[in-house]
Structure 1
Amino acid sequence: MSRESSLPYVTQKVTRGPILRTVTASGTINPVITVQVGSYVSGVIQSRYCDYNTQVKQGQLCAKIDPRPYQIVVDQDKANLAVARAQLIKDKANLAYAKASYERHQRLAPSKVISRDALDNAKNAYDQAQAQIGLDEATIDLRAAELRAAEINLGYTDIISPVDGTVVSRSVEMGQTVAASFQTPTLFLVATDLTIMQVDTNVSESDIGAIKLDNKASFTVESFPNLPFRGEVTQVRQSPQTIQNVVTYDAVISAPNADALLKPGMTATVRIVVDERDDALRAPYQAFRYTPGGVAALSKSPDDSPAVPDGSVRLWVLRDGRPQPAVVFPGLDDDTYTEIVKGDLQVGDEVILGEAESAAASQKPGFASSRRSRERKD
């Protein structure tokens, strides 16, 4: 009374098309160049002229530190320089007198009108006057250097932008005290060009070896999940980053931003293409996992079938309603399709992905026993 029925198979046709092997990573959108604008001197912020998103030019004044303490130092150094110059003039006059006195003693010495000691005193006074001129000139140079240093510090009270760009961060307010004792505080962050961004990705150490310069990449951000952005790998940095014993490397992806959709700090999901085939003969990846009868190893064949060559695998193709083996040599895969380098497959062949659930259910013990029970009743 029983009747045989063919098992229903799930199949998919062999096609031609692209195959992309990619590496997936997460990263952060950043400007290509971000300049930190800080303060070299300490003081109270007197005025602030730049804010978030301010377009600045090179040399533009962004903030002003109270200059009065530094102006006082400049005035003091100017006075000290004036004193040094006046002292030089005075000592030059003293040098002229000492020179004249010494020359007069030289003329009188042969006639014994003056003592030898008087001549020596005149010579000593003349030498000291000459040395004093050198000391005064060195003092003038010292005071001038101190004045220049004070003027430079006074100039540092003007916080200016060193580049053309956009202010992306500000950490200063009017009346705030800036302390530059140990390290330069950052007051502004200026991005030079927000039309060109970059994605700093964290690539695992298992994938970093496959990434090369100029690899194509695409990424999406949470603000525009359905809008893919394109770029390419511009840098693979050698410095490792270890977080909770996980080692990653920074692969930098270029990100053109002509429409200003990308903002600094956005999180990006990146797919980097490490290998590709434009027009490959391909079979579904799942077909390589199927064998009829639950055979575990694809490369092992039953006793009545020949062994497959090294480097090849056996796929199962539905031909004339029955599964037939086809030996193929696989190539590149992308977890969806696998390239068929050569083998017994052609475009249009239906490879078997699995057996339908109804067929699997018919193999259960309970189903078989109930079927036999019905047959005995019949």
Structure 2
Amino acid sequence: MKKYLILAVAVLAVGIGSIYAMYGKTPAVTFRTATVERGDIISTVSATGTLNAVTTVQVGTQVSGTIQQLFVDYNSPVRRGQVIARLDPAIFNAQVEQARGNLLAAEANLQKAKVTAADARRTLERNRQLLKDGIVAQSDFDTAQTTSDTAQAGIQSAAATIVQMRGALRQAQTNLNNATIRSPVDGVVISRSVDVGQTVAASLQTPTLFTIAQDLTRMQIETSVDESDISRVRLGQPVAFTVDAYPNVKFAGNVTQVRNAPVTVSNVVTYVVVVGVDNKDLRLKPGMTANVAIETNRKENVLTLPAAALRFKPATDGGKRSRGNTAKSGKKGSDGERVFLPGPDGKAQPVRVTTGISNDTFIELVGGGLKEGDQVIVGTLSAEKKNGTGGHFGPRF
């Protein structure tokens, strides 16, 4: 009986030890590391923008009327002065004829006024002689003088009317000419806003009939750069960008303008940066959305450090360990930043480093206690998770 009791106690002790070993121990930690290597680092400023032709002209009409003919359509190449549309000219022809008739009537009135003035002048001269001979009274002479002066003023009035009628005729002819719409530039029609039979009204503002891109082989991107990044953007900097139409193709350009006018939307301040683009193959089209990366600095063949190494921070509370992808970077002071190396005792050993430019993945290693080939910690991985078990609580069933 005593033998069985001892055996039961031994089995119980082994079971308790196994349970403690399974549930009570702290899981071993494996560090995830990366190698300090040499490479190129390109520091960029990211932004999005829209592709547009460098010069886009909106063609409208200065007169109201009905579209009678259209001579171009979307994608039609046009030359400067080419007829691209015509309004119904019937009303404008009538206005020209009316203005011409008014001018002729004014010219006839001028001739009539001149004849009247000549007759009044002759009467005045006769009355002057008769007044000297004492045949007519002074009042009759004064009446003749007034009539002559009035006739002379009538000539000036008729002449002024001719000037007005001539101007009205010129305006009517101009309206008739404006009924024929011509392209103001060489280019390509990228938009047409009217159809034959449609009435356009130019009472308050000039309606847009066509949009013509002057040169689609040269385009530009207007991007909005955040105020925190605008200090790094300079004229002439190279730019790489992609568009959704060609997701695997990188296009190139250069910064051609950095505008000083701020753009504030929802209390966020941005500045417009214009990127010039060569589009000789005409693959890029107006209106495409471009994802832009403006190259602000470049370092070649330098030591590079994974950015995750600066975000890693070892556990300080004995049980909880931070992850490299979520932890904040180590403390940064006058002596640089801190990264960690796996030590011989299985613990993370801190090393001070000095960093330079960076991109989304790597940071330039300028100085410190690291050399090419060193392994730096970028994260942790518990032994249970590494072996596929369920951590402190054992495997899941």
TM-score > 0.5, shorter chain as reference: yes
Residues 12-68 of structure 1: CA distance to partner in whole angstroms, max 9, x if unpaired?
332233222223222222111111111111111111101111111111111100011
Aligned with residue 37 of structure 1, among 42, 46, 59: 59
Q: Who is 2:362 aligned against?
A: 337
Indicate the residue corresponding to 1:87 in structure 2.
Answer: 109
Identify the residue that residue 308 of structure 2 maps to in structure 1.
286
| Higher alpha-carbon deviation: 273-282 or 216-225 | 273-282
Determine if contact 1:31/1:191 at 8 Å carries over to the other structure: yes
Distance 2:209 2:308 in 1: 56
Query: Aligned AA for 2:109?
Result: Q
1:76 has 2:101 as partner? no
Change (3 A) 1:43 1:313: same
Give 2:247's match in structure 1, choosing from 200, 204, 225.
225
Could you tell me which amino acid in structure 1 is paired with residue 359 of structure 2?
D
Moved more, 244-253 or 357-366: 357-366
Matched, 1:106 2:131: no
Q: Which moved more, 1:35-44 or 1:212-221?
A: 212-221
5+ unaligned residues in a row in structure 2: which ranges? 1-20, 22-27, 323-327
Q: Secondary structure at the match of 2:128?
A: helix
Aligned equivalent of 1:53: 75
CA distance in 2, matches of 1:55, 1:239: 37
Partner residue, 1:347? 372
Q: TM-score, normalised by structure 2?
A: 0.80
> 1:232, CA displacement in angstroms?
2.0
The residue identity in structure 2 corresponding to 1:329 is T
Contiguous gaps of at least 5 residues in structure 1: 301-307, 368-378
Aligned equivalents of 1:228, 1:74: Cα separation in 2: 58
Indicate which of 140, 143, 151 corresponds to 1:129: 151
Name the CA distance, whole Å, in 2 between partners of 1:108 and 1:341: 119
What code does the residue aligned with 1:351 have? V
Shift of 1:219: 1.0
Query: Is residue 31–residue 379 contact of structure 2 (8 Å, CA) maintained in 1?
Result: yes
Q: 1:207 to 1:116 in 2, by over 3 A?
A: same
Aligned partner of 2:263 in structure 1 is 240
Identity among equivalent pairs (%): 42
Distance in 1 separating the partners of 2:78 and 2:386: 72
Task: Call closer, same or farther: CA 1:99–1:298 in 2, change over 3 Å.
Answer: closer
In the TM superposition, residue 241 of structure 1 has moved relative to its aligned partner by 5.3
Structure 2 Cα separation of the partners of residues 245 and 290 of structure 1:
33
Equivalent of 2:336 in 312, 334, 356:
312
Q: For residue 172 of structure 1, what is the amino acid of its counterpart?
A: V
Task: State whether structure 2 residue 276 is matched by structure 1 residue 259.
Answer: no
Q: State the distance in 2 between where 1:136 and 1:355 align.
A: 101
Counting matched residue pairs gives: 355
Q: Is the CA contact 1:299–1:312 (under 8 Å) kept in the aligned structure 2?
A: no
CA RMSD of aligned residues (A): 2.8
Contact 1:48 1:173 in 2 (8 A): yes
Q: Distance in 2 between matches of 1:55 and 1:292?
A: 66
